Structure 1
Amino acid sequence: MHIAFIIESDYNSGGMERMLSTMANRLAAWFDITILTAFNEGRAPFFTIAETVRQVDLGLAQGDYPSGRLRKKAYRERLETYLVAHRHDVCISLGSLEYGFLPHIKDGSKKVLWFHFALNYDLLTTHLSSIGLVNRCIGRLRQAKRLLCARGYDRVVVLSEADARQWRRFVSRVSVIYNPVTIKPQRVADYSVRRAMAVGRLDRQKGFDTLIVAWKRVVTRYPDWQLDIYGDGPQKETLQRLIVAEGLQQSVFLRGRADDVASEYARHSLFVLSSRFEGFGLVLVEAGICGLPLVSFDCQQGPAEIITPENGILVRPVGDVAALATAISKLAGDAAMRRAMGQQALGLAARFNLDDIAGQWKEMLCALGGLARKIPARK
């Protein structure tokens, strides 16, 4: 079978690009895999792509088009020409610019939408107006458009059961396939250290502003504790100013991107996810398999499918500074609890391992492609 993953570009270092490379490389053991990009403009993929995976860029340049409409039109024309000329059994959109028109390309392939965000993403990220009602109307229109497009796909793949329940109210062909964990723990966390950590892009979604304010309450009770935030993004300067305003320069540190995040997990004894919303929250799984106890807001998608009373604490409601501070403080003050929950979190490795999740993709793709027989792995 010939499978094409389609994305605007894959030179960025985001989680979607990481999952693309991970699954494309693994599925190449069974299928002929192509990654189709449009706007790489000569830049290499950020994550390593196996030699067994074909990479094709359609040769478009963002700067050549004065408007988004013209850019989308050129992308569709170039992609349609390629897909008609090069037969694929299944084409998988990662939800970038092509998701709206891919089902309308008549190339004979089955179409899959692999959506890496929550269905209500548009409602949660619309900030075009300071008027709440306008924001909600814009968000609902975008969500309605997304659902209308999704109905043209043969399968929609989402990242959590909670999100799937929302999708299935409008779209019947929905599958849940978790993202696999990709890091390899080097050693289990040291529960005696008084350091907590958080990881994510420094933007509003991740709620680091809430975490920093909550941390002031934590450090009042436990002044020898430290919080390290790993990541980069548009709110870096804003968050640094907040750290200074709260007087936390000796307690909270923006560490930038971690080249070896597994090593960083091992140097901490507590992980916190303060996101306002998530597509899933794979960092919770990563931290868990490195033996860290987990604290997370119970945002709509993901955390409740990862965190149990045995391996961490879910905090409600989302955005509650006092509740988050209380949960963190509970673990900060009890090394035995950190150890017990961290040891339980190690079990997440079995639920989110790459081989099992790749097997779920293989089964779904074979069903779409009409293959009843089992496909053996390549030698």
Structure 2
Amino acid sequence: MKITFLIHNVYGIGGTIRTTLNLAAALADHHEVEIASMLRHREHPRFSVDPRVTVVPLVDIRPDSDDSADPRLHQPAEIFPAAEKRYGQYSRLTDLRAEEYLRTCGADVIIGTRPGVNVYLARCGPPRALRIAQEHLTHDTHSKKLRAHLARHYRTLDAVVTTTQADADAYRAKMRLPGVAILAVPNSVPATDIPPADGTARVIAAAGRLTRAKRFDLLIDAFADVTAHHPDWSLRIFGTGTDKDRLQQLIDNHSLGKQATLVGSRSPIEPEFAQASIVAVASDAESFGMTIVEAMRCGVPVVSTDCPLGPAEIIHDGLDGRLVPVGDRKALADALLDLIADEGTRRRMGQAALDTARRYDPGPIARTYDELFAELAASRRSRARQRRRALWRSRFHRPARIGPSS
């Protein structure tokens, strides 16, 4: 069976890229796997790609590429939805390349990995292939306009797969998709061969894009409270992003220059987590929480905000990590202080975190996808009937409109 993933840009850095590569490698044990990258901005991907997985770039946006001289690269996209936040990076050229690729790729299963790319899949994907939309964002974080656009196209697909049960429930409740399977499958995170943390390092680590939604400002504020009691501990934040200067200014304002550091990106991140005793997540929202599982893989307990939607489905509060209210500086600082003060608890939680992380082994998650493929293939006709009945009801059984009373 040939399985193709459609991804925004496999040459970049991000959680969707990491989990797509993890799943592609696991599926490559039994299938031919290809990743079609809508964009390419550098020579080689930043993350390692399993040699059994083929990468096909569709539009090369490097300044010296042939595509950079194509006038269609500067014409607005007509298929990619304008309400999608990546719209400005898409063009008529990406529309045409995606359409051509989907028509000729010969895949048995095609999996899209972000909303706008899933619209390509719905509009241009071959009907003979199973077409699956993965949602690495969340239903409720999409704008109302984008949700309406997605609803029109997602109902033509075979399945919508979210990373959390809470998000799957949201799709079932808020987006009517007759004949479309909606289910949650968590991201996969492979085990690392790095020795797990021993809980003795006086280091708190954090990682992610340096954007306001990740709330590294809240973490820095909370860490300032921590240092008042434990000045020998340090905070290391890994990542790049638009919020870097603001966060550095906050560090300077707290006089934390010797204790808190914006380190920049590291790939892989696990060696850095293994040198910490606590990993902190202060986000306002997480669609899943790759950082949490990656830290657990290193035997490090995570202190995270209980934000929608992922952390509470990963962390068992008080067993393998801690959950604190969103935006609560004191609660975040107190949870960090509790673990700092108790090395035995850190070690115990770290071991429990290792056990929890096994739920995200790529092998079992790949088998879940294999089972999904078989189920979708077997239910094609029954799901098509569901669609036809729903369409018939919507056309001929709409409730009568009642005008204003006279």
Residues 29-178 of structure 1: matches in 2 within 5 Å?
29-40=29-40, 43-59=43-59, 61=61, 64=71, 65-69=73-77, 71-95=90-114, 97-105=116-124, 107-108=126-127, 109-122=129-142, 139-169=143-173, 170=175, 171=177, 173-178=181-186
The one-letter code of the counterpart of 2:234 is Q
Shift of 1:31: 1.9
- Judging changes above 3 Å, is the alpha-carbon distance between structure 1 residues 274 and 59 closer, same or farther for their aligned structure 2 residues? closer
- Judging changes above 3 Å, is the alpha-carbon distance between structure 1 residues 42 and 68 closer, same or farther for their aligned structure 2 residues? same
> Contact (CA 8 Å) 1:194, 1:269: kept in 2 or not?
yes
Shift of 1:278: 0.7
> Contact (CA 8 Å) 2:102, 2:121: kept in 1 or not?
no
Shift of 1:236: 1.3
Shift of 1:272: 0.7
Provide the secondary structure at the position in 2 that maps to 1:267. coil
Shift of 1:50: 3.3
- Judging changes above 3 Å, is the alpha-carbon distance between structure 1 residues 15 and 203 closer, same or farther for their aligned structure 2 residues? same
- The separation in 2 between residues aligned to 1:245 and 1:166, in whole angstroms, is 41
Give the CA RMSD over aligned residues: 2.2
Residue matched to 1:359: 367
Match of 1:346 among 325, 329, 354: 354
The one-letter code of the counterpart of 2:97 is R
Unaligned runs of 5+ in 1: 123-138, 372-379
Tell me if 1:231 matches 2:239. yes
Residues 23-34 of structure 1: matches in 2 within 5 Å?
23-34=23-34
- The separation in 2 between residues aligned to 1:321 and 1:42, in whole angstroms, is 39
- The separation in 2 between residues aligned to 1:261 and 1:101, in whole angstroms, is 32
Shift of 1:152: 2.5
**Once the two structures are superposed, what CA deviation does each residue of 1:170-192 show, in whole Å capped at 9, x if it has no partner?**
24521211111135052222323
Provide the secondary structure at the position in 2 that maps to 1:268. coil
Match of 2:266 among 252, 258, 267: 258
Shift of 1:302: 0.9
> Contact (CA 8 Å) 1:95, 1:116: kept in 2 or not?
yes
- The separation in 2 between residues aligned to 1:146 and 1:82, in whole angstroms, is 21
Provide the secondary structure at the position in 2 that maps to 1:218. helix
Residue matched to 1:206: 214
> Contact (CA 8 Å) 2:75, 2:92: kept in 1 or not?
no
- Judging changes above 3 Å, is the alpha-carbon distance between structure 1 residues 321 and 343 closer, same or farther for their aligned structure 2 residues? same
The one-letter code of the counterpart of 2:324 is V
- The separation in 2 between residues aligned to 1:19 and 1:106, in whole angstroms, is 22
Shift of 1:202: 1.1
Residues 251-330 of structure 1: matches in 2 within 5 Å?
251-308=259-316, 309-316=318-325, 318-330=326-338
**Once the two structures are superposed, what CA deviation does each residue of 1:25-59 show, in whole Å capped at 9, x if it has no partner?**
22122222222233326733333333433333334
- The separation in 1 between residues aligned to 2:39 and 2:269, in whole angstroms, is 29
- Judging changes above 3 Å, is the alpha-carbon distance between structure 1 residues 87 and 262 closer, same or farther for their aligned structure 2 residues? closer
**Once the two structures are superposed, what CA deviation does each residue of 1:279-331 show, in whole Å capped at 9, x if it has no partner?**
10021112112121221000011110111121111101x11111111111111
- The separation in 1 between residues aligned to 2:261 and 2:299, in whole angstroms, is 22
Greater C-alpha radius of gyration: 2
**Once the two structures are superposed, what CA deviation does each residue of 1:163-220 show, in whole Å capped at 9, x if it has no partner?**
1111111245212111111350522223233211111111112110111111111111
Residue matched to 1:186: 194
The one-letter code of the counterpart of 2:132 is V
Unaligned runs of 5+ in 2: 62-66, 79-89, 380-406
Provide the secondary structure at the position in 2 that maps to 1:101. helix
- The separation in 1 between residues aligned to 2:120 and 2:196, in whole angstroms, is 46
Q: Work out the number of aligned pairs and report it.
A: 354
> Contact (CA 8 Å) 2:2, 2:33: kept in 1 or not?
yes
**Once the two structures are superposed, what CA deviation does each residue of 1:70-95 show, in whole Å capped at 9, x if it has no partner?**
55443333333333334322211111
Shift of 1:67: 4.2
- Judging changes above 3 Å, is the alpha-carbon distance between structure 1 residues 324 and 36 closer, same or farther for their aligned structure 2 residues? same
Residue matched to 1:14: 14
- Judging changes above 3 Å, is the alpha-carbon distance between structure 1 residues 351 and 111 closer, same or farther for their aligned structure 2 residues? same
Shift of 1:11: 0.9
- The separation in 1 between residues aligned to 2:17 and 2:260, in whole angstroms, is 29
Identity of aligned residues (%): 32
- Judging changes above 3 Å, is the alpha-carbon distance between structure 1 residues 52 and 293 closer, same or farther for their aligned structure 2 residues? closer
Shift of 1:370: 4.1
